[in-house]
Amino acid sequence: MPLSEAGRWGEINTMARLANKDALQKLRKSLQVVDRHKKDKLISLCGGSGCGAYGTAKVHQALVAELKKQGLQEKVEIKRTGCHGFCEKGPIMVIYPQGAFYPQVKEEHVQEIVEKTIKGNEVVDSLAFKDPSTKKKIYFEKDIPFYRLQQRIIFGNNGLIDPTSIEDYITVGGYSALEKALFEMKPKDVISEIKKSGLRGRGGGGFPTGIKWETCRRHEGERYVICNADEGDPGAYMDRSLLEGNPHSVIEGMIIGALAIGSKEGYVYVRHEYPLAVKNLFTAIQKAEELGLLGQNILGSGLDFRIHISRGGGAFVCGESTALMASLEGKPGRPRAKYVHTVEKGFRDGPSNLNNVETWANVPVIINRGAEWYASIGTERSKGTKIFSLVGKVVNTGLVEVPMGTSLRTIIYDIGGGIPKKKKFKAVQTGGPSGGCIPERYLDLGVDFDELTKVGSIMGSGGMIVMDQDTCMVDVARYFLDFLKDESCGQCNPCREGIKQMLDILTDICQGKGKEGDIELLEELGAMIQKFSLCGLGTSAPNPVLTTIIYFRDEYEAHIRDKKCPAGVCKALFHYEIDKDKCTGCQLCAKKCPQEAITGEKKKTHVLDQAKCIKCGICYESCKFDAVVVR
Amino acid sequence: MGKAIEIDWNIIENVIKQYSENREALLMIMQDISDIYNFVPPEVVPFLAKKLGIRESQVYSVATFYKTISLKPRGKYIVNVCTGTACHVRGAEKIMDALKQNLMIEEGQTTDDGIFSLAAVRCVGCCASGPVITVNHDTHGGLDRSKVLDVIEGYKKSAS
């Protein structure tokens, strides 16, 4: 580990090395007994990146100051945890033992919360969570539909532990799966357990994990165990939240994998854009090394295994296995043809086993609770749970962990609370740039590795972006190709040139320059790129375009034939108008318009000057009477 | 901007040493250099090549492949507008437009006073808080046109 990282992130207290499994068990017992919660109350404050963006740090400071002022600092513990998942409502605070839940906490709320909930046992009604669908207040975390309908076997510990504390992880049973694998199982037992569990790769490929491990073990040479934390799919952030909130679960999974595969060296390839994930992972590795859970002769078992961090540089293609391994070697991340698989010849030409963050985090759970239990969750060919990142135009955005096979409707409506502002659902985009857009008539499909492929999309790594009536599907297709054009590594013609050509056509369509025959040409180009590209990025690149053509052909036609963008996104193809019958003359839009393009007296119909309008949409979003319309 | 910066070669050498002069760490070495100067000064390329025992072309190929590395000087504050899908459907383009107008620069450019650089980034993993921008290592979420301009005003004040 480079010294610079240690220097940058401060000193870490040293702990005594655990010589054997008895020492680990003793430590766990003492942690559980020596009461880590001897304090009266525990405040769990989400310190994930989502809540951080809404200002967790300020709330934390205010909380520390207020507790000190009230002389309560000895009685109350503040835990800055990882992501709780309900990121829309951040910063999130949960106060135990009651489980009182406060969303969107601000500095100025802290005093009242300390007064009522910490000193007393009351939940402050005005600050409590209001269910957007029933408009009723809900006081406790467990009663909130967003959480109640989930099954959080992988993500659940995030809200309970401080990710920088290995003690916290050990207290909740952490590293007991490692203990079991090291001392009660042989490598082949571990592999057969993972095979029996039916675990498949959570990065999106869905390859059976146990078979991958077995194949890698069969090949001779210096074997490597690698964790893919490059999470390049825009709109998906479950891997970030797992690494930030519970890094030890990933490390434990990797050590078990190393035992099964026979590897001495592991790498985590993580995006540079995820600084908190890198920091928490670094701390976790350091602490695991100090305790002898990583390094030489782990817990006296004879297993040697180290984990290194490699920071990627923001290239989507580096999520592809061969590109990732080239990047690990310090080269540009360009994929190669996979005539020889990476489990045989990968990183440094050694047999290399690559699994995604979430896959690794599933491993300790399977070893602890058994393959049979695990396989009882999910569908016939997709076992266990999956974490989805439910984002976009949905009321409750955040991370959602549900059993495989849960329907899109349950996820979007029951957990997600539906579409905000009474707008109409249009599509859900799954699987990132390699996936597709699924229309309303397929909302009852269960989400797993196989089901969504039937309608032209994929589950992928779990990104789920909800789109409403204000989303233009042609623009979305153009958006994805614009993304992929930048991310194409440029090695093979179909991907490099084909995507560019498709993008040019789509850009023309969005600017009102679409021609008859464009749709057919897009389909033809798409089929060519799918067939002849070198790697998975290229072969799946046309998916967002092809699925939107299948399900939203009318929108394409409106752009091309009528020169209209029905959703009001493509600026050249629509304008705003004020509906005379609906306008009440409230003057709100006129006040907000940055161009002073709207005029009108109070209580009289307003007028919009098209020459001044820049189509920023502020009037459309602010009108309470739906009087600003897209034409 | 425009004037050449002073490079402290001891610092560069230390960064390389921290990674044990391992050529596999080339990208991370450049990221660390970037944290110091906000870009990788092209003058360090031959130095890196020599220290790591690789060709200059190899250093350039890595420097130009990855988006986190810039060989051109960037401003004191690097403003990255997240244009991930979730931010896109919630109006990231409007945020970008507002910033372009306010800072009077295009994507990929730096203001004349060298304070701000503007760029688009593909997903910073704060999808539930979109639209989001990052300014150096800080993240600001839940933005709209006026909120993002408030954020920028804050940085303008602390820069002056």
pLDDT at position A8, please?
36
Would residue B2 count as lying in a domain? Answer: no
- What local confidence, expressed as pLDDT, does residue A37 receive? 54
- Closest Cβ–Cβ partner in B62, B68, B129 for A330: B62
* pLDDT per residue as tens digits for the range B102-137: 999 999 899 999 999 999 988 888 888 889 999 988
Chain A contact present for B99, CB below 8 A:
no
Same domain, B82 and B132: yes
**Cβ–Cβ below 8 Å for A330 and B84:** no
pLDDT at A9: 38
Structural domains of chain A in order of their starting residue, each with its CATH number: 39-148 (3.40.30.10), 156-375 (3.40.50.11540), 385-468 (3.10.20.600), 473-560 (1.20.1440.230), 575-630 (3.30.70.20)
The pLDDT of A19-41, averaged and rounded, is 82
Q: Of A326, A333, A322, A255, which is closest to residue A292 (Cα–Cα)?
A: A255
Which residues in chain A are contacts of B19 at CB distance < 8 A?
2
Tell me what pLDDT residue A2 has.
41
B118 belongs to a structural domain: yes
Task: Looking at the structure, tell me whether residues B19 and B55 fall in a common domain.
Answer: yes
If asked whether residues B146 and B104 sit together in one domain, one would say yes
Nearest CA in chain B to A471: B89
In chain A, the residue whose alpha carbon lies closest to the alpha carbon of B15 is A4
Give me the pLDDT at residue B32, please.
94
In this structure, the answer to whether residues B143 and B96 fall within a common structural domain is yes
**Ordered DSSP codes for A378-413:** B-SSSBSEEEEEEEES-SS-EEEEEETT-BHHIIII
pLDDT of residue A6: 36
Q: At what angle do helices B92-103 and B145-159 cross, to 10 degrees?
A: 40
Cβ of A331 and B61 within 8 Å?
yes
pLDDT, tens only, A67-116: 999 999 888 989 999 888 888 888 999 998 889 999 999 999 999 999 99
Map A97-138 to HEC letters. Answer: CCCEEECCCCHHHHHHHHHHHHHCCCCCHHHCEECCCCCCEE
pLDDT value at A39 more than 80: no
How many domains does one find in chain B?
2
Please indicate, yes or no, if residue B109 is contained in any of the structural domains: yes
Percentage of chain A modeled with pLDDT above 90: 77
Q: Residue B1: is its pLDDT beyond 70? A: no
Find the CATH number of the domain harbouring B133. Answer: 3.40.30.10
Tell me the average pLDDT across B83-95: 88
Which pLDDT band holds residue A36 (cuts at 50, 70, 90)?
low
> Per-residue pLDDT tens for A283-301?
999 999 999 999 999 999 9
| Mean pLDDT, range A154-174, rounded to an integer | 93
pLDDT of residue A3: 35
Considering the domain architecture, whether residues B144 and B98 belong to the same structural domain is answered as: yes
Q: Pick from A273, A315, A334: which is nearest to B124 by CB? A: A273
Distance separating alpha carbons of residues A240 and B100, to the nearest angstrom: 30
Collapsing DSSP to helix, strand or coil, B119 comes out as strand
| Burial zone of A569 (CB within 10 Å; 0-12 exposed, 13-18 middle, 19+ buried) | buried
Does B71 map to a domain? no
Q: Does one domain contain both B89 and B56? A: no
- B93 and B29 within one domain: no
DSSP three-state, residue A207: coil
Give the pLDDT confidence score for residue A132 in this predicted structure.
Answer: 83
Average pLDDT over residues A354-371: 97
Do both B118 and B81 map to the same domain?
Answer: yes
pLDDT of the residue at A197 = 98
Last residue of a domain, one of B65, B89, B113: B65
Predicted TM-score (pTM) of the model is 0.92
pLDDT greater than 50 at residue A396: yes
Q: Which chain B positions have a beta carbon within 8 Å of A3's beta carbon? A: 18
Least confident piece of the model among A35-49, A179-193, B77-91? A35-49
Do B150 and B112 share a structural domain?
yes
* B138: DSSP letter: E
Whole-number pLDDT of residue A59? 94
- In percent, the amount of chain B with pLDDT more than 70 equals 98
Whether the CB-CB separation of A449 and A438 falls below 8 Å is answered with no
Provide the angle, in degrees to the nearest 10, between the axes of the packed helices A247-261 and A275-290: 60
Percent of chain B with pLDDT over 90: 70
B127·A391 Cβ contact <8 A: yes
Say if residue A15's pLDDT is above 90. no
User: Residue A232: its pLDDT value, please?
Assistant: 81
Q: Residue B127 domain-assigned?
A: yes
Dump pLDDT digits (tens) for A409-428: 999 999 999 999 889 999 99
Cβ pair A235:B85 closer than 8 A? yes
Confirm whether B52 is domain-assigned. yes
pLDDT in tens, A500-556: 999 999 999 999 999 999 999 999 999 999 999 999 889 999 999 999 999 999 999
What's the whole-number mean pLDDT along residues B49-67?
95
User: What b/e sequence results for A348-372 when a residue is b if at least 16 CB atoms lie within 10 Å of its CB, and e otherwise?
Assistant: eebbbbbbbbbbbbbbbbbbbeebe
Contacts of A77 (CB under 8 A, 6+ apart): A37, A39, A41, A42, A43
pLDDT tier for residue B146 given thresholds of 50, 70 and 90: confident
pLDDT reading at A314 higher than 60: yes
Domain extent, residue B17, equals 9-65
Note the pLDDT tens digit of each residue in A365-374. Answer: 999 999 999 9
> For residue A91, is the peptide bond before it cis, meaning its omega torsion is within 30 degrees of 0?
yes
pLDDT average, residue stretch A141-167: 92
Looking at every residue in chain A, the average pLDDT score rounds to: 92
pLDDT given at position A470: 93
B4 inside domain: no
Q: Tell me chain A's radius of gyration from C-alpha atoms.
A: 26
Instruction: Clarify whether residues B97 and B24 are in a common domain.
Output: no
- What is the pLDDT, as a whole number, of residue A201? 96
| Residues 6+ positions from A394 with CB-CB distance below 8 Å | A412, A416, A417, A418, A419, A420, A466
pLDDT value for A11: 39
Residue B129 in contact with partner chain A when CB distance is under 8 A:
yes
Q: Which residues of chain B neighbour A87 with C-beta distances below 8 Å?
A: 126-129
- pLDDT tens string A215-264: 999 999 999 999 999 988 888 999 999 999 999 999 999 999 999 999 99
Predicted confidence at residue B4, as pLDDT, reads: 61
> What number is the average pLDDT over the span A132-145?
90
Domain shared by B47 and B117, yes or no: no
Residue B3 lies in a domain: no
Q: Averaged over A575-589, what is the pLDDT?
A: 92
Q: Which of B17, B39, B65 is the last residue of a domain?
A: B65
Give the model's pLDDT for residue A41: 87
User: Residue A31 — very low, low, confident or very high, per pLDDT cuts 50/70/90?
Assistant: confident
B47 shares its domain with B108: no
- Note whether A232 contacts B58, CB cutoff 8 Å: no
Residues 14-73 of B with CB under 8 A from A: 15, 18-20, 22-28, 31-32, 58, 61-62, 65-69
